[in-house]
Amino acid sequence: MKEHIVKKKDRKEDIREEKAAERAGKGLKDDKSLEKKGTFKEGEAGGKPIHWFHINQKYMSVCRYSLFVIVAAILIYIIISHWGETKKSISNLFNVLSPFLVGVLMAYFLIPLVARIQGILKKITKGKYEKITKSVAIFLAYLLVIGFIAVAFVFVIPQMGQSVQELTDKIPYMYRTIMRELAGLQRRYPDIDLEFAYDQLDEVMPNLINYGTDLMGSLLPVVYSLSVSIVKMAINLLLGVMISIYMIYSKENFRYQGKRIVYAIFSEEKGDAICSTLRECNNIFGAFLISKAIDSLIIGCICCVAMNIIGLPYSVLLSVIVGITNMIPYFGPFIGAVPGVLIYLCTDWELALIFAIMILVLQQFDGLILGPRLLGQSTGLSPIWVIFAITVGGAYFGVLGMFVGVPVVAVVAYLINKLISSRLRGKKITALREFEEK
C-alpha cells in the first residue's frame, strides 16, 4: 500500500515536471518567434524587454537622428532668418574672446620657434634643467618677435612713407612723360585711336595727385589714431600675450586634455585615427604658412639688398610689396612685380627692364632653390588645385583668402583622400590597377 502511494506521488511529480518543461519550451519558442519577427533579438537588434513592451534600438537610433536633424534645421532657420542679430552676436562674442583668439594665434605661430630654440638650448645644457630651458626659450622667442616688429616700425615704415612722398611729387612728371610717349606713338601710327587713353589720363591723373597729397597729409593723423587704438587695446594685447605664454608653456597639458576628450567619446582605434588625422592637418596647415612666411621674408630682404646694390630707387617700398605678395603661390611674383615695373616705366624704361629681370631671377631662385628647401611637399597639391584655391579664396575673402586658401584646400584634400582610401581599403578594383601601376 505504501509503495502504491509513493509511486502515485512520483507520477504526479513527473507530470508536474513535464508540464514545467512544456511551458519552458513554449516560452523558448515564443522568444525565438519574436527574434525571427525582429521584435526582440537581444545582442543583434538590441531589443530590451520592459515588462510587456519591447524597445527596438534600431528605431530608437532613427528617432534620435531624426530629432537631431529637426533641431539643427530649426536652429539654422532661426540663424538665417535673424541674420542681422546673429551677426551682431557673433561680432560681440569675437570682441569678448579677442584676447583668447590673439593668444591662440600667437601661440600657434610661436610654438615652432620656441621648439627650435629649446632644442638648441637642450644641446647646450645636455638635457638638464628642462623647465628653465623652456622658460628661457619662450623669453628668447618673444624677444626676437618684438625686436623684429620694432625694427620694422623704426626703419621700414619711415622709408616707405618717404618713398610714397617721392612718388607723389613725381606724379606730374610721370603724367607729362606718358603724354609725350602717347604723342610719339600717335605720330608713328596715325591710324591708332588714342582718344580713350587721353580721356582716361585726364580723369585719373588729377585724382591720383589729390589722392597722394591727401594720403601724405593724413598719414600722421592715421599713425596717431593707430597709436591711440594700440594704447586702448593694450589690455587685450597684454592678456593675449599672457595667454599665449601660458599655452606655450602648458602645451603638453592641453594636448593631454584634448586626447582625453577624444578617447572618452570614441574607441581607442578611432581615437588613434582622429588624433593622427588632426596632427597631420596641423602639420600641413602650419608648415605651409610658417615656411612660406620665412620664404617671403628672405625674398623681400634679398630684393631690398639687390635693389640697393643695383641702385634702383624705392627699394624698401617695392621690396615690402614683393615680399608680401610672394606669400601667394604662382601668381605672387607677377603681382609683386607689376607695381615696380609700372612705376619705373613712368620714369625710365631701362630701370623697368632691370627691375623685371631682377624679379625674374629672384623668383627662379625662390622656385628652384629656396622654396623647395623651406616648403618641401608641405601641401602635396597639384598646380591646378593651387590655382583653384587662390582663385576661390581671392574671390570670396580677398587678399587674406589668397594667402590662406592654399593650406585650407590642402587640408580638405588630405581629409577627402584619407576618407576615399579608407573606403577603398581591401577592395581589389580592376579599373584602378592600371593607374596604380603607373
Give the pLDDT confidence of 45-72 residue by residue, as tens digits: 444 455 555 666 777 778 888 888 899 8
Question: What's the mean pLDDT in 40-45?
Answer: 44
Question: What's the mean pLDDT in 238-260?
Answer: 89
Q: How high is the pLDDT of residue 79?
A: 84
Contact status, residue 171 vs residue 205, Cβ threshold 8 Å:
yes
| pLDDT of 302 strictly over 60 | yes
d(CA 352, CA 49): 86
| pTM, entire model | 0.65
Question: What's the mean pLDDT in 155-178?
Answer: 75
Coil/strand/helix, residue 55: strand
Encode pLDDT of 115-128 as tens digits. 888 888 888 888 77
| pLDDT of 167 strictly over 70 | yes
Q: How high is the pLDDT of residue 214?
A: 52
What is the band of 327 on the pLDDT scale with cuts at 50, 70, 90? Answer: confident
d(CA 309, CA 312): 8
What distance lies between CA 46 and its chain's CA centroid? 43
Q: How high is the pLDDT of residue 257?
A: 92
| pLDDT of 288 strictly over 70 | yes
Encode pLDDT of 89-111 as tens digits. 888 888 788 888 888 888 888 88
Percent of the chain with pLDDT over 90: 5
Contact status, residue 374 vs residue 291, Cβ threshold 8 Å:
yes
Greater confidence (141 vs 62) lies with 141
Q: Give the range with max mean pLDDT: 281-285, 304-308, 399-403.
A: 304-308
Give the residue among 388, 411, 370 at the shortest CA–CA distance from 288. Answer: 411
d(CA 339, CA 438): 45
**Lowest-pLDDT choice from 34-48, 148-162, 192-206:** 34-48
Half-sphere exposure (CA, 13 Å, Cβ side) for 175?
17
Percent of the chain with pLDDT over 70: 72
Q: How high is the pLDDT of residue 261?
A: 92
Q: How high is the pLDDT of residue 41?
A: 44
**Lowest-pLDDT choice from 56-70, 202-216, 264-278:** 202-216
- Based on DSSP, count helices (H) and strands (E) in the chain, helices before strands: 18, 2
- DSSP H helical segments within 49-97, as ranges? 57-81, 83-96
Encode pLDDT of 383-401 as tens digits. 788 888 888 888 887 777 8
Encode pLDDT of 418-427 as tens digits. 888 888 877 7
Q: How high is the pLDDT of residue 5?
A: 46
d(CA 422, CA 84): 42
| pLDDT of 410 strictly over 60 | yes
Question: What's the mean pLDDT in 340-352?
Answer: 83
Question: What's the mean pLDDT in 322-345?
Answer: 84
Question: What's the mean pLDDT in 245-267?
Answer: 90
Q: How high is the pLDDT of residue 14?
A: 57
Q: How high is the pLDDT of residue 28?
A: 44
| pLDDT of 201 strictly over 80 | no
d(CA 300, CA 294): 10
Contact status, residue 169 vs residue 314, Cβ threshold 8 Å:
no
Encode pLDDT of 177-192 as tens digits. 777 766 666 666 666 6
Instruction: Indicate the average pLDDT of the chain.
Output: 76
Amino acid at 135: S
Encode pLDDT of 12-33 as tens digits. 555 665 555 555 454 444 444 4
| pLDDT of 38 strictly over 50 | no
